[in-house]
Chains A and B, each alone.
Chain A
Amino acid sequence: MKIREIYIDGFGHFHDLKFVDLSDSVTIFRGNNETGKTTLLEFLRRVLYGFPSGRGRSSENLYKPLSGGEHGGRLKIISSDGSDFIFERKSGMKTPLISDHDGSSVSDVSPHDLLGKADETFFKNVFAIGHSELREFSTLQEENIRDRMFSAGAGATAVPIIDLRKEIEEKKGKIFTSRGRVQKIPGLLTELDGVEDDIRNISEYQEQFDSFNEELDQYQREHRESLSKKNVLLGEISYIENLNKAYEDYIVLKDAEKQLEQLPQISDFPPDGISRVDRICESIRSINEDIDDSNQNIKDLNRELESKRTNDEILKYEEEIRALERGIEKTRSGETDLHALYIERENLQTDCNTQKMELGDGWDEEKILSFDTSTSTQKTLSKLKKQLHDAKDSHYEAKKSYDNDFEKYGDIQGEIERLDRQIDESRPVCDKEQLDKKIKDISILSGLITKCREQQSHVQQLREKGILQSEILNEISRGNQPSMMPLALILLAAFAVLVTGFVFSALIPAMIGFCILILAALIYYISTKKGSGKRYDLVESRPELDISRKGFTELNKMFAQEREKLKKIQKDVIQLARQCGFQAVPDPIALSTSESDLRDERQKAITHESLLKRKRDLDENYRDVKSRVKEKKNYLEERESDLAEAIREWKAWLSSLGIEENLEPDVVSDLLTKIHLAQQKYSELTKCERKIQKLEQSLNDYAQRVDQITNTIDFEKSDTPDLTVELLAKELKVNQKISGDRENIKLQIDQENQKLGRLSQKLDSNEQTKSELLSEATAADESQFRDFSEIVTEREGLEKIIQQSRIHIRTICGDTKYEQFIQDLANTDKIYIESDLKEKKGELETIEGELSEISERIGERRNSINELEKDNDLSALLLKESALFEEINDYSRQWAIYSIAERILNSAIELYERERQPVIIQEAQDFFTDITGKRYQKIISPLDSREIIVEESKGKRKEIGELSQGTAEQLYLSLRFGYIRDYSRNETALPVIFDDILVNFDPVRQRNACHAIRKLSETNQILYFTCHPETAEMLQAAAGDVKVVDLDGFL
C-alpha cells in the first residue's frame, strides 16, 4: 500500500491542507522544528489506525484542530494490487470510511484488506525508525546490543523479546529459586513455620488445663483447714482479753455494794423534795417584793393627779370655737378678695368712661344702654351694605365696558383711512394675466434661439463632411490610377540594356545597368504602393465615411434638408422677438433683463390684489363695532339710576337709628361693635359692686360672733377677729389635753389595786403547798427535811455505780453467760492473764504465716488457668496459618505461570531462529552490503548460538562486540530493513516512516545509507522526515524519483 495524497481537514495547527503527488518511492518532508513533522506523523498513524478516545491514563496529545475544520482527514492510497482508494477517518470514528477514487463508497473492502494484519503497535514499531531509536542503540552495553540485534531481526514488539525474557526471569526469581532463601515463597514458608510453632505451644498449654485445676482444688482444701484453726485460736484470745478488760469494773462493783449496805433506808421521801421546797421559798420572797412595789406606785399616781387642773368655761364653748376656727381661712381670704374687688371696680369705671368718650358726643350712658345691637340690626346693616356695594360694582363694570368699545370704534376708522391711501399708491400697470403671457413668450424665445444655434452647427458639420468626402474622392480617383507607364518603360529599358549587353558582349556593364534599372522599377513600384496604401489607410480609419457615389448623393440631400430647417427656425425667432418687443434678435442679457422686469411687475400686481381684499374685511368689522357701542351706552345709564336709589335707602336707615347719615357702612359696623363693647363694660361694673356688698356683710357677721364669745368668757381680744379666734382655739386645746391626762392617771391607779389583790392570793397558795410537802416527808420542819434528802441522794449515787459496772461487764462478756463470767472474774488472777495472752498470740502468728503461703500458691494457679482460658492467640494464629497457606499457593501458581511463559517464549525464539531468522538474515545481508559500501558481504547466525557474525569482503569474520559503533548501527539498520522487507514480501507492504535517521552518520555513511534506503524503496514507499536540507539533497541524488515537500511553506 502506498499513500498518494494526504488531505488534513483539521489536526493540530493544520487545517484544510493538501499534499499531493507523493512519490511511490521516496517522499521527503522537510521542515524546521515546530513546523509540524510530528503532527503530520501522528496524523498519518491516527487516520490509519484510529484516534485515541481521550479517556484513559496517558496524557496523550489529542491534536485537536486549532485552526478550525473537522478533526481528521483522508488519504488517497493505492493498494498492493494497484487500485485507488480513499481512506477517510475522523476523530470518534471506529472504522474508517473507505471509498473509491471517485468518492463512491465501497462496502466490500475492509481496512485489513488495505493495511494487512499488522496493528498500530506493529506499524509503529516495525514500520518506523527514528533517530532516537538509533541514539538509544548507541548507548547500549555490548550484551544489550546483541539482544537488540536479535530483537530487530525478530521483529520489534512492544517490549523487545530479549528484554521480555529477562523480565520474566527476574519476576520468577523474586518468587522462588531452588536454592534461594530470601525470595517470596521461602519467606512465607519461614513465616508459616513460626506460626505453626506458636500454635503448637499454645496447644500444649491447653493440655495442662486439667492438672492445673486439680492442684488448685488441693490448695483450697489446705487453706480451709488452716483457716478454721485460726478462728478457734482467735476466739480464745478474745475471751482472755475480755476478762482483762472487765476486771476493773468488777472491783468497783464490789466496793459500791459494800458502801450501800451501810446507809440507812429512808422511805416515802417525796421525789425532788429539796428542789421543790427551795422553789417555793424563792417564789414567796419574790411575791412579797412585788406587793411592795405596787403600793409605792399607787402613792405616786395620786400625787400626780393633784397637780393637774383645768379651765371649765372654755371647755363649754368648745363647739363654737371650733366653728370659728374653721372659718378663719375663709375670713382671711375674704378680706383679700375684698381689696381686689375695690380695685376692679375702679378700673371698670375708668373703662366705661373711655368707651363712652370714644363713641363721641351725643353719647351718654343711657343712650348706650338703650341701643339695640342685636342681630336684626346687624342683618339690616349687612343687607344694605351689600346692596350698596353691588350697585357700585355693576355701575363701574358697565362704564368700563362702554369705554373699551368706544375706543375700538375709533381705531377701526383710522385704519380704514390708511388702507385707502395705500391702495391708491400701488396700482399696477397691467393685470396679471397679461404679464404671465409675456413671460412665457420670452422663455419660448430663448429656447428657440438655442435651437437655432444648434441647427446652425449641425448644418456646418454636414458641410464639412461633404467637403472632406469630395476631397478624398478626388484623391482616390487620382490615386486609383497610379501610372504604370513609367514602370513599364523602366522595365523595358532594363531588358533592352540586357539584350544590348548580351549582343555587344558587354555583359557586365549590361548586367549592372540592368540591375540598376530593375532597382529603380522596384523603388518606383514600392513608393506608389505606399501612397495608395496611405490612402487606403485613411479610408480604413474612418469607416463612417461612405465614399461611394450613393453615399455622396445622400449627404447632399441631408444637407439641403437641414439648411431649410434652419431657415425656418430663424424666421420664427425674428417674429417672436418682435412680438416681445425686441427690434432684432436679442442677446441673452437683454432677454434675461426683460424677463426679470416682467416678473417684478407681476409681483406688484399680486400685492395690489391682497390690499383690496383687506379693505373689504375691515369695512365689515366697522359696522359690527358701531352697533355694539350703542348697546353699551344704554346699559350704563340704567346702572347709574340703580346706584342713586341704593344710596338714598342707606341714608334713611342711618337716621332712623340716630346715627350720622354720612357714615360709610364699614364705619357704621365699627360703631355698632363699639357700642356693644361699652354695653358689656357697664354690666360688668354692676356685677362688681354687688359682689363687694356681699363680702362686706359676711365679714361683719364673723367679727360679731367673735366678740360675743370673748365677752362671755372674759378673754382678751386681739387686733383682728381671726387672731383672736386662733388664740381661743389654742387655749381650748391645752385644756382638753390636761383633762385627758387626769383620766389616764385614774385608770392606772385602778390597775395597781387589782394587781395588789392578785399577788396576795398567790402568796397564800404558796404557803399552803410548802406545809403540805413538809408533812409528806414527815419532817417536823424544813431543816429536817433537808437532812433526809441528803441521805437519799447518796444511796441513789451508789446504786447507779453498781448498775453501770454490771452493764460494762455484760457488754464485755458478750455471748458468755454473765454468771459464768463473773465467776471467772472472781477466780482470775491478774498476773496470769498477761502470760496466757502472749502464748496464744504467738500461736496465731504461726498459723497466719501458713495461710498466706497457701494463698499465694492459689493465686498463681488461678493466673495460669486464666491465661489458658483467655486464649486470644489461638484463633488468630489459626487464621494467619490458613492465610499464609493460601498465599503460598497463590504465589506458586504465579511462579508456574511465569515459568511456563518462559518456556513458551524460549520455544518461540528457537522456532524463529530455526525457521525465520535465516530468511531475514538473507534480506538483511543485501542491505548490509549496500550500506557498508560492499565492505561487509555476509551476515551469519550460527544455529547453536544467539550470536550474529559478520564477514568482511576480505573474508575476515567479526563478532558484534568487535564492531565499531558506526558499523554496529549499520548492521542494526540492515536487520531492521531486512525484517521489513521480509514482512512486506510475505504479508503487506506498508509505507515506512523514517525520522531523520541519517542525522548522526558521517557523510560517507550517509551516502551509503541513502543507497540502502533507495533499495528499500523498491518494495516500500518511504516517507522521510527531516529538518536538514542537505539530507534532502543527498537522498535526491541517491534515489531517482524523490519528491520534496517543504513544510515551512504550509504554515
Chain B
Amino acid sequence: MKRSKKQVLKFIHTADLHLGSTFHGHAQYDDKTAQLLSNATYRAFKKIIELCIHEDVDFLLISGDIYDSQDKNIKAQLNFSQGLRQLDENGIRCFIVHGNHDPVSSWSKKVKLPESTIRFSCTEPEVHSYYSPNGKHLANIVGMSFETELVFANLSKYYPEKEKDWPFTIGLLHCNVGSIEGHDQYAPCNINDLKRCGYDYWALGHIHKPGVINEARPLVAYSGNPQGRDMGETGPRGCFLVTIDRSGSIKRKFIDTSSILWDKIQIDTGEIESLEDLDCLIREELSDLSYRQKKDIICRIELVGNNRIYDEIIDEDAIIEFTKNLNEEPVSSKNRVLVDKITNNTRPVIDREEVKERNDIVSDICTIVDEIPHSSEMLEQIKETVDDLYKNPKLRHLLQYPDDDELLSLISQAESFLLSRMVGGSP
C-alpha cells in the first residue's frame, strides 16, 4: 500500500481497453502463440487492476471503448466485471463513460458490475462526488456516455462549468479533440470547449496513442490503449497514474502496461550472400531488439539494400516459409520475438545504368520500364494485366486496387526480378 500523507488524491486514468479484440497481423501463428496474442488485452487490463491496488489509488477512470461490441464478446464483459469486483473488494471505485465501440446499448444486461462503479448516463452529463474513507469531499467527476456507435454531436458542450465550492474536478469524455488525422469524426470537440468548463483534469479516450494535449489548467490527456494491437500502434502503451498533493499541483506518470510491444525494424541486406546469412542477420537484429526493449515483441521487418539473393527471396512462399521458421525457433530465450511479416524491398546487386548500356534484350527491358510512366497506353496494358486478379468478383472486396504509386513500385520490383534472373548478379 504505497501512499504518503502528502498525496491527497490519487487515481489511474485509462481508456480504449478493447478487451478481447484481436491483433491484426500477418503471420499465421501456432495455437499457443495465437492464444498468447488473443489474451494480451486481458493481461493489460489485469495489470491495470493490479496497479490500482498496489498504488492504493482512490479510483479508476475509464474513458470508453472497453470492449468491441461488434464481436459480442461475453468473455470480455465478464472479465471486465471481474476486474472491477476485485477493485471493489479493495475499496477502489471506478468511473466509466462508454464510447463508440461499446455504447450503452451494446452491453449485456446480465453482466453485473459492482455497486460502487459509476457508469455515466448517455442522456445527459452527470456529476458524481468522491469522498475519502474519512468523509472528505476530495473530487467531483463529470461524465457522459455514448448511447449508440454513431454519435457525431459535440458532447463537451453539455458539460456544466465548475462551481466555486467544487474540489478537484475531472471531466471524463470519449471524443476527438481538434481534428486528429486518421480517426473518424466521432464526437468532435475543440480544446476551447474543454477549457471553458474550468475543470482541473480532462480524462479523454478514443485516440490510442498516449499523449497530453494541454499541459496547464486544465491538464488534457489521452491515456491511449494499454496494449497495442497492430503495427500502427507501436511504442509504449499504458495508463496515467495521476497524483494531486495538498497544494493542488498535479503530478502524472505514464506506466507501461503492455505485455507485447509492436515494433518495426529495417534491415540492410547489403552483405548477404545466402539465405543462411539472412537468417543469422535477422536473428541477430531481433535478439538485439529484444534485449533493448525487454519485453515480448511482435515485429515487422523491412528488408532493404542491394543483395545477391534477390531471386531467392522475391518469392512469397519463400518469405512465408522463412517467417514461419523464424517464429518456430525462438530468437531469444528471455522474451519472445515474433515476426509478423517480412517485406522485401531489396534490390539485386545489378548496376542498372550499366545494364542499360548493354544494347541487348536485357537493356531493352530497362528501356521499356523507363518508358512506362510516360506512356498511358503502356500503363493501361499493365493495369489490364493486374485487373485479372484485382477485379475478380470473389476478391475485389478483399483487395485494395493498387494506386499509381503502388503500381510503379510493382513495376520496379518486376524489373528487378527479371534482371536478377537474366543477368545473374554475381561479380
Interface residues of A (CB under 8 A from B): 49-50, 52, 55-57, 117-122, 154-155, 157-159, 161, 164, 167, 171, 175-176, 178, 184-185, 189, 192, 203, 206-207, 209-210, 213, 868-872, 874-876, 878-880, 882-905, 907-909, 911-912, 916, 983, 986-987
Known: A49-B427, A52-B427, A892-B390. A902 touches B23 (CB 8 A): no
Report chain A residues within 8 Å CB of B394.
189
B73/A871 in contact, CB under 8 A: yes
Is the Cβ of A880 less than 8 Å from the Cβ of B315? no
Q: Which of A119, A155, A192, A904 has the most CB of B within 10 A?
A: A904
B400 touches A889 (CB 8 A): yes
**B20 at interface, CB cutoff 8 A:** yes
0/1 per residue, B342-386, Cβ < 8 Å to A? 000000000000100111111011001100000000100110011
A1011 to chain B, nearest CB (A): 27
Q: Which residues of B contact A (CB under 8 A)?
A: 20-29, 31, 34-35, 37-39, 71-75, 78, 108-110, 273-274, 308, 314-317, 320, 341, 354, 357-362, 364-365, 368-369, 378, 381-382, 385-386, 388-390, 392, 394-395, 398-400, 402, 410-411, 413-415, 417-418, 421-424, 426-427
Give which listed residue, A206, A890, A893, contacts B73 with CB less than 8 A. Answer: A206
18 contacts between A and B (CB under 8 A): A117-B358, A121-B423, A158-B424, A209-B110, A874-B73, A875-B20, A875-B21, A875-B39, A876-B35, A883-B29, A885-B398, A886-B26, A891-B316, A896-B390, A897-B314, A901-B414, A909-B361, A911-B361
A900 and B414 contact, Cβ closer than 8 Å, known pairs A178-B392, A185-B395, A876-B34: yes
Q: Smallest distance from the beta carbon of B71 to chain A beta carbons, Å?
A: 6
Most buried by B among A158, A884, A886: A158
A987 with B315: in contact, given A159-B422, A870-B75, A874-B73 (CB under 8 Å)? Answer: no
Which residues of the partner chain A approach B38 to less than 8 Å between Cβ atoms? Answer: 875-876, 878-879
Q: Would you call A158 and B316 a contact (CB within 8 A)?
A: no
Specify the chain B residue showing the minimal Cβ separation from A884.
B28
Residue on B with the closest CB to A178?
B388
Identify the closest chain B residue to A158 (Cβ). Answer: B424
Partner of A896, one of B35, B73, B402: B402
Q: In the bound complex, what is the Cα–Cα distance between A640 and B313 (angstroms)?
A: 134
| Given A871-B74, A885-B398, CB of A899 within 8 Å of CB of B388 | yes
| Contact across chains for A905 and B24 when beta carbons are under 8 A apart | no
Cα A164 to Cα B415 in complex, Å, equals 13
> Which one, B31, B274, B388, contacts A876 given CB within 8 A?
B31
Decide if A898 touches B423 in the complex (CB within 8 Å). Answer: no
**Contacts A154-B361, A158-B421, A883-B29 given; 18 further ones with Cβ under 8 A?**
A117-B357, A117-B358, A121-B423, A157-B361, A158-B424, A167-B421, A210-B108, A875-B21, A875-B22, A886-B341, A888-B395, A896-B389, A896-B410, A897-B410, A899-B386, A900-B382, A901-B415, A987-B359
The distance in angstroms between the C-alpha atoms of A469 and B303, with both chains bound, is 114
Which residues on B sit within 8 Å (CB–CB) of A154? Answer: 360-361
Cβ of A899: which chain B residues have Cβ within 8 Å of it? 385-386, 388-389
Can you list the 9 inter-chain pairs with the closest CB atoms, starting with the nearest? A875-B38, A878-B22, A901-B414, A206-B72, A158-B424, A121-B424, A157-B422, A871-B75, A900-B414
Report the bound CA distance from A908 to B367 in whole Å: 9
Within the complex, the shortest CB–CB distance from A910 to chain B, in Å, comes to 10
Q: CB < 8 Å: which of A876, A888, A902, A983 contacts B399?
A: A888
Q: Do the beta carbons of B399 and A892 come within 8 Å of each other?
A: yes
Query: Chain B residues near A872 (CB, 8 Å)?
Result: 35
Please, which residues of chain A bring their CB within 8 A of the CB of B399? 888-889, 892
Instruction: Name the A residues within 8 Å of B341 (CB-CB).
Output: 886, 890
Chain B residues within 8 Å of A912, by CB: 361, 364
A121 CB contacts on chain B under 8 angstroms: 423-424, 426
The reply to whether A902 and B316 form a contact with Cβ atoms under 8 Å apart is no
Docked pose: A894 CA to B27 CA in angstroms: 16
Measured in the bound complex, the distance between the Cα atoms of B398 and A189 in whole Å is 10
Docked-complex contact A983 and B360, CB < 8 angstroms: yes
How near does chain B come to A968, taking the closest CB pair, in angstroms?
22
Report the minimal beta-carbon distance from A133 to chain B, rounded to whole angstroms: 16
| A880 contact set on B, CB distance < 8 A | 28, 34
Which residue in chain A gives the minimum CB-CB distance to B362? A157
CB < 8 Å neighbour of A879 from B22, B73, B274, B415: B22
A171: chain B residues within 8 A (beta carbon) = 315
Complex Cα spacing A121 to B75, Å: 63
A164 partner, pick from B73, B273, B421, beta carbons under 8 A: B421
A1008 vs B316: C-alpha distance when bound (angstroms)? 50
Distance, CA A844 to CA B155, complexed state (A): 63
Closest to B422 in A: A157
* B364 and A911 form a contact (CB under 8 A): yes
Contact of A908 (CB < 8 Å), options: B37, B39, B368: B368
B residues in contact with A879, CB < 8 Å: 22-23, 25, 29, 34, 37-38
* List of B residues within 8 angstroms of A176 by Cβ: 389
Q: Which residues of B contact A987 (CB under 8 A)?
A: 358-359
Among B78, B389, B398, contact of A895 (Cβ-Cβ < 8 Å): B389
Residue among B31, B354, B389 having the largest count of chain A Cβ atoms under 10 Å: B389
Q: A885-B398, A886-B26 are in contact. Are A904 and B415 (CB under 8 A)?
A: yes
A893-B78 contact, Cβ under 8 Å, with A118-B358, A121-B424, A908-B361:
no
Of all chain A residues, the one with the shortest Cβ separation from B272 is A56
B283 to chain A minimum Cβ distance, whole angstroms, is 18
Given contacts A880-B28, A883-B25, A904-B365, contact A119 B423 (CB under 8 A): yes
Given contacts A888-B399, A902-B385, contact A57 B73 (CB under 8 A): no
Of the residues A122, A185, A192, A203, contact of B358 by C-beta under 8 Å: A122
Q: Would you call B417 and A897 a contact (CB within 8 A)?
A: yes
Residues of B within 8 A of A904 (CB): 365, 368-369, 411, 414-415, 418
In the complex formed, the residue of A with least CB distance to B110 is A213
- Whether B365 and A908, one on each chain, are in contact in the complex, defined by CB atoms closer than 8 angstroms, is yes
Smallest Cβ distance from A370 to chain B, in angstroms? 118
In the complex, A890 Cα to B323 Cα: how many Å?
A: 13
Contact status A57-B411, CB under 8 Å:
no
A890 to B74, Cβ gap below 8 A? no
CB B419 to nearest CB in A, in angstroms, measures 10
Give the distance in Å from the alpha carbon of A55 to the alpha carbon of B274 in the complex: 10
* A874-B71, A904-B418, A908-B364 known; A189+B389 contact, CB < 8 A: no
Q: Closest B residue to A983 by CB, please name it.
A: B360
